[in-house]
Every structure is written in C-alpha cells, then in structure tokens.
Amino acid sequence: MTTAERTAAPSAEVALADGGPNRAAAGKGRPSTDRLLNALYLLASLTLLTLTWQFVSWIVGADVLPGPWASVAAVAQSQREGFLWSDMGITAYRIAGAFLIALATSLVVGALLGRIRIAERLFGPWVTIGASIPSLVVIVVVYLAVGIDDRAAMIGTALIVAPAMIYAVWDGVRAINPDLQEMARTFAVPRHIILRRVILPQTAPFIFTAARTGLSLTWRIMIFVELLGRSSGVGYRIQYYYNLVDMNRVVAAAVPFIGLMLAFEFVVLRPIERFVFRWRRSEAQ
Amino acid sequence: MSARLVFTDLGRTFQSAHESTVALKGITITLEPDSFTSFVGPSGCGKSTLLHIAAGLDTRYDGLFTREPANATLACLFQQPRLLPWQTARGNVAFVLEARGIARRDALRRADGLLDLVGLVEAGGRFPAQLSGGMQQRVALARALAVDPDLLLMDEPFSALDELTAARLREELVALCTSKARTILLVTHNIQEACYLGDRVIVMSAHPGSVVAEIAIDAPRPRRLDDPRLAEYAGSVRDIIDRCEPTSRSRGVAA
C-alpha cells in the first residue's frame, strides 16, 4: 500500500466533517469539538488499520508479513544497531533533491505548455510519452549516463515523477480565468501585480496538488532507485533484508519512513493547505 | 476630471480561421463629460465589444477612438462581479487601491468606508463565496467607486441578479455615481433599465453592429421606475428595435 492510499481514508472523513455540521462556521475558525471529533476519527481509522494489518499477518503468516508488534520491535532493533536514522536521513535527502528538481521542472514546463500554444502542440505529446516510459528503463539509463551516485538517483527519480506533476501545473495554467485579468487591467493594475496577485493565486491549488502527488510518488520511486544502485538508504535496507529473508526487518525499514511521510502530510502540508485555501472551504455554501 | 469619449467611424472585425464577423461598423458617437449614456440592443449588436474598446481592453479596431484626458481614471462593473475569490470583500476593494500604490493599511481603511457606503460594512471580512450574488455585485461597485473614476463602464451589471436586488442596486448606483461629475457608459439589453438610468439611450442593431437611433431621455432626477414618461421612452426604443429586427423579441431583448 502506498502513502497516498494510506492517507486516503482519514482525509475522506476530514472532508466530510468539513462540509457537515460546521459549515456555517467555515472560514471563521472551527469549534474545538469538531477538531476533537476529527482527531477521534483519525485515531479510530489508524486503530482499525493496525488491527487489519495484524489480521492479514495471521492469514498470510508472520514470516511473510510480520504483524505490527514484531515490526515495531524490529524498528527498535535497527535503532539499537545504529542505521535507522542514517538510512532515513540519506533517503530523505535524496527524496528532497529529486522532488525539488521535479518541482522546478514541472513549474517551468507546465507554465510553458499552458501559455504557449506552439509549445503545447510540439511538446505536449512528449509529456504523455515520458509518462509511459517504464520507470526501470529511466533509472537504468540515468545510472549509466550519469554514474551510479546520489545525483543520478535524484535525476532519475525526478524524470519519472515529473510528467505527473507537469500535468497538474499545465492544467492549472490552463484554468487561469482571463476575466479576472481583464478586470485588473481595466483598473490599471500594473503587470507585475497582476502576475503576483491575480494569476499566481489561481494556479496555487494546482501547484499544491502537483507538489503533494509528486512527493508521495518521489518516495515510492526512490525506494526502487536505491534498491537498484545505492548501498545506503531505506530501499537498500529493504533489499538487503529481503535477500536474508528477514521480513521483520524489511517491514521495519519501511515503517519509520511511512511515519515520517505521514507526519509531513499532517503536520506540514495540511495546516498550510488549510490556511492558504481557507477561502475555498466556504464555497459549498 | 470627467472624461470625454469620442468614437469616429469605429469598426471591429473578428477574424477566425473560416470567416470574419463584423461586430461593429461605422460607429460615430461622442460621450460628453458628466453624461450617462446607455447602449441598448439585441445580443450580437456589438455593444459589449464597444465597451471593451472604451475600456482599452480591445485595441484591434478600425477607425478612431479617443479618451480625453488620456490618463482618465477608469473603473468597470461587469455582469459577473469578478472578485478575487481568495480575498475578502475588503481585500478586494483594497486591491485596486494598493495597485495604485496606497499602503495596505490605508487601503483597507478606505475599503471599509466604501463598503459602508454600499451597506456591506459587516461583511467586509467575508470571502466572495460567502456572499450572495447581490452582495458580491455591491462589493464590485464599492471597488469601482474606490478609484473615484472619471469614467465608469458597466457591462450588464444587473442582469445576473434577481429583479428585486437589481432594482435596489440600480437606485444605489444612481445615488452613488451621479453625486460627482463622471462619465458613465452602460451596456444593457434591458430597455427599461437603459431608459431609467441614462441621460441618453443609444439603440444598436446587429449584423453588423451599428447605431440606429439616439434618444435623449428628458425626465427629471431622481426618477421613478413607474414614471409614465420613462415608459413612453421605453416603448419608442422597443419600436425602433422591432423595426430593425422584427424577430428581436425572440432573440433575448427584454421588454
């Protein structure tokens, strides 16, 4: 299961609560009871997931999928042996690098494709083709071309992730409403202010979507990239223990990073999103 | 200083890959300073194109168009309020002031005053999505007044509102906009509205968009919507439109 899929269930519940009984209060800060309710739902969801995990572990056997407790114990063991944090650190570093490359690429390419008709016609199909190249081919070619190092891992991952992000930015640029620009022009608003205060805010939701899907995709791809050509990081550790058929340690390698990604989603992304797009929440009224 | 608009033999042709459409042809008309001119006509008569040219949004016209003084302050009221959805009501009004170099705090303070003027001071902190259509259009009106325009252009500003809200907003518009000398251009397909608001009604016909009549509305202000003289003017405007296009009633000209 992926990070995105794991977060899908709680986010659906949060969204329901958003549109539900507290609609009238939207945009003015939410009553604390609603926050409590959301937190309880999230807790219930996570508990249910843990129980399901335990159940599946029973069905397929603990030697294939270790249960939650065994996994936590294995994480603790990795920590005692001293490579838990260094693995996570190096993987996080590679993910950050790949993500930034992919984000910068998608912003530039998406903006060009969305704004310039000839660029869209000539290079639009390239994005589709790029999206359909098998990830493995990209990784292998980049490793051979650049050398088997962290730089190649970042570039390869970025190339695989970029098409999906380009699509999101491209859509956002196309969705810019010319009516608002027209309004600003009649009021003699200078061009740089139109760009900053009329055009950019319209694309912000799409850039946010691009960043979010891009980040979760980057993490999933990076594991493969590490597995294929790096001798450190979460992906390497998974491969190493898989070869030793130590499934406890395989799961233990992945779990802390999943936790880190989830924490990033809930502690960083969600609050930012909530604040930046607070004007959208009331739209259903 | 109130603005003067002069259109001389103005034309506008839209080219597409397969055909060219003449939206405006041979428009010669002057809008004097401190006058309220309504343009009325069926859909496709080019009245919105004319407004776009007057607003400086469309410069690919033939003939001559001058705006005196050239640096006259402009404000627009559109059919849709065209508010920035991520800005509050006061943020939207303040936006056009900030774009003119006024500091945010001063701009917001002035925005509050303007929202008070249109009866929306309590809604200042709300986002457009939290306001009704009528309230949104009021914010747009406050925004237009914020720049204290010499020239106010309006493109069917009431047609997306229910009739009760529209009637109230029309009255407020007259009270707020005519208190100071400014040139106002209104484009509408509502004949009654054109006569009720304008000092002069310009009747246009389509294919190609051209002026077929000019009628001075000689009724004292403040006007009443049920003034029989206005009804008479509206009747003659309707006759003119019907004569030009016998089927125009079925083409969306409101009686």
- For CATH 3.40.50.300, list the domain ranges present in chain B: 4-73+149-251
Cβ–Cβ gap A186/B73 under 8 Å: no
Name which of B73, B82, B127 is nearest A179 (Cβ-Cβ).
B82
Which residues in chain A have Cβ-Cβ distances shorter than 8 Å to B129? 279-280, 282-283, 285
At B22, phi and psi to the nearest 5? -90, 110
pLDDT for A192: 92
Residue-wise pLDDT for B126-152, tens only, equals 999 999 988 999 999 999 999 989 999
Beta bridge partners of B183: B151
d(CA A227, CA A235): 5
What does the alpha-carbon distance between residue A14 and residue A174 come to, in Å, rounded to a whole number?
29
Over the stretch B190-217, which tens digit does the pLDDT of each residue have?
999 999 999 999 999 888 888 988 999 9
Number of domains comprising chain A: 1
Average pLDDT for chain B: 88
Reported as a pLDDT band with limits 50, 70 and 90, residue A20 is: very low
pLDDT tens per residue across span A181-230: 999 999 999 999 999 999 989 998 899 989 999 999 999 999 999 999 89
Helices (H), chain B: 47-55, 89-98, 104-117, 133-146, 163-177, 191-197, 228-244
User: Any residues with CB less than 8 A from the CB of A93 and at least 6 apart, and which?
Assistant: A150
Region B79-97: what's the mean pLDDT? Answer: 94
Q: Which of A189, A279, A280 to mutate to test the interface with B (most CBs of B within 10 A)?
A: A279
For B4-73+149-251, CATH gives: 3.40.50.300
Q: What share of chain A has pLDDT > 70, as a percent?
A: 87
CATH number at residue A16: 1.10.3720.10
Angle between helices A200-229 and A84-115 (to 10 degrees): 140
- What is the per-residue pLDDT for A50? 92
User: Cα A117 from chain centroid?
Assistant: 30
Give A238: exposed, middle or buried? Use CB within 10 Å, 0-12, 13-18, 19+. Answer: buried
| CA of B80 vs chain A CAs: smallest distance (Å) | 9
Chain B nearest C-alpha distance from A24 (Å): 10
Structural domain that includes position A33: 3-284
pLDDT in tens, B219-248: 888 888 788 898 899 998 998 888 886 554
Determine whether the interchain pair A185/B56 forms a contact, defined as Cβ–Cβ distance below 8 Å: yes
The pLDDT, as a whole number, for residue B44 is 80
Query: Which residues on B lie below 8 Å from A182 (Cβ)?
Result: 57, 82
Decide if B84 and A198 are in contact by the 8 Å CB cutoff.
Answer: yes
Sheet with B62-68, strands from edge to edge, namely B20-31, B4-15, B62-68
| B75/A201 CB distance under 8 A | no
Nearest CA in chain A to B143: A187
Which among A182, A189, A279 is the nearest to B86, CB-wise? A279
Nearest-Cα distance to chain B for A179, in Å, is 7
pLDDT at residue A3 greater than cutoff 80: no
Give residue A240's pLDDT band: very low, low, confident or very high (50, 70, 90). Answer: very high
Q: Given this model, what pLDDT does residue B61 score?
A: 92
Q: Which of B52, B76, B127 should be substituted to probe chain A, the one whose Cβ sees the most A Cβ atoms within 10 Å?
A: B127
Query: What is the structure's pLDDT at B195?
Result: 92
The rounded percent of chain B whose pLDDT value lies above 70 is 96
Task: Mark yes or no for CB contact B75/A187 under 8 Å.
Answer: yes
CA of A202 vs chain B CAs: smallest distance (Å):
9
Residue of B nearest to A200 (CA): B86
Contact residues, chain B, for A187 at CB < 8 Å: 74-76, 96, 99, 143, 147
The pLDDT of residue A223? 92
Residue A55: both structure tokens together: 């159940």
For the CA atoms of B99, B105, B111, B117, what is the dihedral angle to 10 degrees?
-150
Parallel, antiparallel, or unpaired for β B210-216 and B74-77? Answer: unpaired
